[in-house]
């Protein structure tokens, strides 16, 4: 297994030229043996809002990488979310789930939007996303946070706090309050938050395995001063680390103060493991370390090889259809797909280096750029495609 090393953009002129690589090969999932095959079936779920724009960008990049490396990526588009509700009445049609379960990997844009947000509607787009995660057993959602040196100016956090920040949040994805029983009367409502020991153990093990390939530190985030589920979480995490990962430094952090420390001393964190809802909220907050929601990719993994890859952001209805969404988070999610599901580490690095080089070259969409200097989604994608040559010369020659 290659040891983790920083990704250095060859085009970089910044004094900090290495973009910390946050997802070392095969580090966070069951052994991913490099694939013998050169043909791969990738299910693409564009979804709603900016989903179609950003998945189109990532597919373009995958096509280009596939062509350069003689890989046959076969894309199969299916419906999910609001688009699926409009067409079939269901947020996750059976045909979509079936295709996803047979694919080598799934690339998803985003779901949801005002068109489908009536709380009284029989089905909501977000249910499709939760259902596919659950049905595919994708319990570990890896959300790397490594601010790019060229984009530090877009962050509201002081640059001296950001240099060297390199963490991965491992968010539990198929349990907790998201999936507990819901009740509703005219005057009350409840959402049950439930976790089993087995659910906590497996995600903590995933976090510790990942930490072993990094700085060996795991921060477990909970609310053990109030919640029973958090007390079970803390107890279980402590036992798993003591029994199985004595080499890992484990610290516990309450989620409210974590929200503060994340911004005041983000460099201190290596692997952060937490339950479903805390992970959702903390990672949107952490995106401000990187400068934009549009920069953070994610990988949702289970025990099998196939995973689901999506940016952490949503369907951004406020900018949908305008061609200005930042495609980098989705393109970087495609890189995670190549690494974790297809075992194509070199190709994954190629994409990451190309995005890094595009950022170094100042190719910023509106979420990152000073007013008047922003490029469109397509221009940003074109810059990544152009940088594939610069970022991967050795691969280009080999092929």
Ligand X SMILES: NC(=O)c1ccc[n+]([C@@H]2O[C@H](COP(=O)([O-])OP(=O)(O)OC[C@H]3O[C@@H](n4cnc5c(N)ncnc54)[C@H](O)[C@@H]3O)[C@@H](O)[C@H]2O)c1
Ligand Y SMILES: CC(C)[C@H](C(=O)O)[C@@H](O)C(=O)O
Q: Is 256 annotated in the active site?
A: yes
CA-nearest of 315, 309, 280, 312 to 175 is 280
Q: Which stretch binds ligand X (CB under 6 A): 91-99, 143-151, 212-220, 315-323?
A: 315-323
Identify residues 275-304 at the interface with ligand Y (CB under 6 A).
280
Q: Is 399 annotated in the active site?
A: no
- The conformational region for residue 47 under phi > 0 = left, psi -120 to 50 = alpha, else beta, is left
Six-digit token string for 23: 């997802």
Q: Single out the catalytic residue among 270, 280, 353, 367.
A: 280
Among 111, 177, 208, 273, binds ligand X (CB under 6 A): 111
Contact between 275 and Mg ion per CB under 5 A: no
Query: CA of 323: how far to CAs of 59, 64, 112, 118, 326, in Å?
Result: 16, 21, 18, 26, 9
Contacts of 325 (CB under 8 A, 6+ apart): 50, 53, 54, 294, 316, 319, 365, 377
Confirm whether residue 297 is marked as ligand binding: no
Beta bridge pairs of residue 191: 182
Q: Is 270 annotated in the active site?
A: no
Contact between 280 and Mg ion per CB under 5 A: yes
Confirm whether residue 320 is marked as ligand binding: yes
How far is residue 58's CA from residue 67's CA, in Å, rounded to a whole number? 14
How far is residue 79's CA from residue 46's CA, in Å, rounded to a whole number? 7
Closer to Mg ion at the Cβ: 7 or 92?
92
Confirm whether residue 135 is marked as ligand binding: no
Confirm whether residue 143 is marked as ligand binding: yes
Contact between 325 and ligand X per CB under 6 A: yes
Q: Is 367 annotated in the active site?
A: no
List interacting residues with ligand X (CB under 6 A): 50, 54, 110-113, 126, 129, 293-294, 310, 313-319, 325-326, 329, 367
* Residue numbering of the annotated binding site: 113-126, 133, 143, 171, 256, 280, 284, 314-326
List interacting residues with ligand Y (CB under 6 A): 112, 126, 129-130, 280, 312, 314
Enumerate the active-site residues: 178, 223, 256, 280, 284
């Amino acid at each position: 297994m290659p040891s983790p090393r920083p990704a250095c953009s060859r085009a970089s002129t910044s004094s900090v030229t290495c973009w910390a690589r946050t997802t070392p090969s095969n580090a966070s999932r069951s052994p991913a043996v490099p694939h013998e095959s050169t043909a791969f079936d990738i299910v693409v779920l564009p979804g709603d809002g900016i989903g179609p724009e950003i998945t189109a960008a990532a597919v373009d990049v995958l096509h280009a990488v596939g062509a350069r490396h003689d890989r046959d990526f076969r894309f199969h588009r299916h419906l999910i979310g609001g688009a699926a509700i409009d067409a079939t009445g269901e947020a996750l049609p059976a045909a979509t789930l079936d295709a996803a379960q047979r694919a080598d990997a799934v690339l998803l844009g985003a779901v949801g939007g005002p068109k489908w947000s009536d709380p009284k509607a029989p089905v909501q787009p977000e249910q499709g996303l939760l259902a596919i995660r659950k049905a595919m057993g994708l319990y570990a959602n890896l959300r790397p946070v490594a601010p790019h040196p060229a984009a530090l100016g877009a962050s509201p956090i002081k640059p001296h706090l950001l240099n060297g920040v390199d963490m991965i949040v491992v968010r539990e994805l198929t349990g907790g309050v998201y999936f507990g029983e819901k009740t509703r009367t005219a005057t009350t409502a409840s959402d049950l938050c439930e976790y089993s020991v087995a659910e906590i153990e497996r995600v903590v093990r995933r976090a510790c395995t990942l930490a072993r390939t990094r700085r060996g530190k795991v921060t477990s985030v909970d609310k053990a001063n109030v919640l029973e589920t958090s007390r079970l979480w803390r107890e279980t995490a402590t036992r798993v680390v003591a029994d199985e990962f004595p080499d890992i430094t484990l610290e516990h952090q309450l989620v409210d103060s974590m929200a503060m420390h994340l911004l005041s001393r983000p460099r201190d964190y290596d692997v952060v493991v937490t339950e479903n809802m805390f992970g959702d909220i903390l990672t949107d907050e952490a995106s401000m370390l990187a400068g934009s929601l549009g920069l953070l990719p994610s990988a949702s993994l289970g025990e099998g090889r196939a995973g689901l890859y999506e940016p952490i952001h949503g369907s951004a209805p406020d900018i949908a259809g305008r061609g200005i969404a930042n495609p980098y988070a989705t393109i970087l999610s495609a890189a995670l797909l190549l690494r974790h599901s297809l075992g194509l580490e070199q190709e994954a690095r190629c994409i990451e280096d190309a995005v890094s080089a595009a950022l170094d070259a100042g190719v910023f969409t509106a979420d990152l750029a000073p007013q008047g200097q922003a490029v469109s989604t397509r221009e940003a994608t074109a810059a990544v495609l152009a940088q594939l040559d610069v970022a991967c010369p050795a691969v280009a020659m080999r092929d």
